[in-house]
């Protein structure tokens, strides 16, 4: 809570310095905090039913509202569709966590079938990224069933995010080899890379405070012919660095690091901790190259999944109450 409070306070400080609009950041922080609290409470009372119901709700939301918002599609493959992909990955992680927490084989198989259905739903709604992200979460969840030490797995997830963010940062700084740069440009679109370069220039212009929350759209120059200017750079780390300076980027990284630390310390089984860590890592990768964290459903879902995976199931037999008294 101290870390989330620092994120909110810093957004207000940078907004006051540059006449920014911190409402989006404050809403995201509120969504994460509310989701985490709800996840801890519901996960303690209903360790199987709560994440299972959350997975079903995420699937319904992704299918009924495939783009989650109205807007241009030029940011494919990780623009508005990135939010759908992130939601599907979180829903798959919730279903797999519920499956590992279930005791009966029938219930566990049913929850695994729900996770498989979410993967297929990604293909059905035309989200190739969502299908791939959900499949990665499902396969990793099945693979961690035999792991007994979660530390190495969580470190590997952290390294994967660092590599992705470092690659995006290097691409924005034009520091990659020419062949690799051309391959990434063709996959991610030149417009997205121009937005990243604009964000990096803004970050260099004011490393301390950034240009102010919500002001990227006013200052970026990467406008595509026939399309409205984009208000975000399609990268959460670069957006934080551009709008809130180095401190904002470090706070974002610290929030993800804290989530992995909480999963390392959780009393839940290792399979649950690593499954949730994989889903949150996939979300971090998608958010590094898209606007996934700009959608309240995604940020609240991330908080819920972290809460479910770190909740301490309540025995309900009066033992714990008697011990506390």
Q: Which residues, 6 or more positions from 40, have their beta carbon under 8 angstroms from its beta carbon?
A: 307, 308, 310, 311
Q: What SS3 state is found at 306? A: helix
Average pLDDT estimate for 5-12 = 96
Percent of the residues in the chain that have a pLDDT greater than 70, as a whole number: 89
pLDDT at position 229: 58
Residues in the chain: 325
Spatial distance between the Cα atoms of 236 and 115, rounded to a whole number of angstroms? 27
| Terminal CA-CA length for the chain | 27
Q: What is the DSSP-derived secondary structure letter of residue 143?
A: H
| Burial track 105-141 (b if 16+ CB lie within 10 A, e otherwise) | eebbeebbebbebbbebbeebebebbbbbbbbbbebb
Average pLDDT estimate for 208-224 = 80
Average pLDDT estimate for 273-301 = 94
pLDDT tens across 102-115, in order? 988 999 999 999 99
pLDDT at position 75: 43
Spatial distance between the Cα atoms of 305 and 263, rounded to a whole number of angstroms? 11
Q: Which residues, 6 or more positions from 18, have their beta carbon under 8 angstroms from its beta carbon?
A: 206, 209, 210, 211, 212, 215
In terms of Cβ atoms closer than 10 Å to its own Cβ (0-12, 13-18, 19+), residue 152 is: exposed
Answer whether 0.75 is exceeded by the pTM.
Answer: yes
């Amino acid at each position: 809570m101290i870390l989330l409070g620092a994120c909110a306070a810093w957004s207000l400080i940078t907004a006051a310095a540059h006449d920014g609009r911190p409402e989006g950041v404050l809403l995201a922080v509120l969504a994460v905090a509310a989701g985490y609290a709800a996840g801890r409470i519901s996960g303690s009372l209903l360790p199987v039913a709560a994440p299972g119901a959350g997975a079903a709700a995420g699937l319904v939301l992704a299918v009924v509202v495939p783009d989650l918002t109205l807007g241009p599609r030029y940011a494919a493959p990780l623009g508005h569709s990135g939010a759908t992909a992130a939601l599907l990955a979180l829903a798959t992680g919730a279903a797999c966590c519920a499956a590992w927490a279930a005791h009966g084989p029938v219930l566990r198989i049913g929850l695994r079938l729900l996770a498989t259905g979410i993967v297929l739903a990604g293909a059905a709604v035309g989200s190739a990224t969502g299908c791939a992200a959900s499949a990665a979460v499902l396969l990793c969840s099945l693979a961690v069933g035999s792991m007994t030490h979660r530390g190495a797995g969580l470190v590997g997830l952290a390294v994967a995010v660092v590599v992705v963010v470092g690659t995006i940062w290097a691409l924005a700084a034009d520091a990659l080899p020419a062949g690799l740069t051309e391959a990434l440009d063709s996959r991610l679109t030149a417009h997205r890379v121009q937005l990243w370069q604009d964000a990096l220039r803004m970050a260099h212009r004011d490393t301390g405070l950034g240009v102010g929350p919500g002001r990227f759209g006013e200052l970026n120059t990467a406008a595509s012919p026939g399309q409205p200017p984009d208000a975000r750079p399609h990268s959460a780390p670069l957006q934080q660095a551009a709008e809130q300076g180095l401190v904002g980027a470090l706070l974002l990284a610290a929030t993800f690091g804290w989530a992995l630390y909480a999963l390392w310390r959780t009393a839940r089984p290792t399979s649950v901790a690593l499954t949730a860590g994989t889903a949150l890592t996939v979300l971090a990768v998608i958010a590094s190259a898209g606007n996934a964290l700009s959608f309240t459903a995604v940020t609240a879902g991330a908080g819920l999944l972290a809460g479910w995976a770190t909740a301490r199931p309540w025995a309900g037999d009066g033992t714990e109450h008697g011990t506390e008294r």
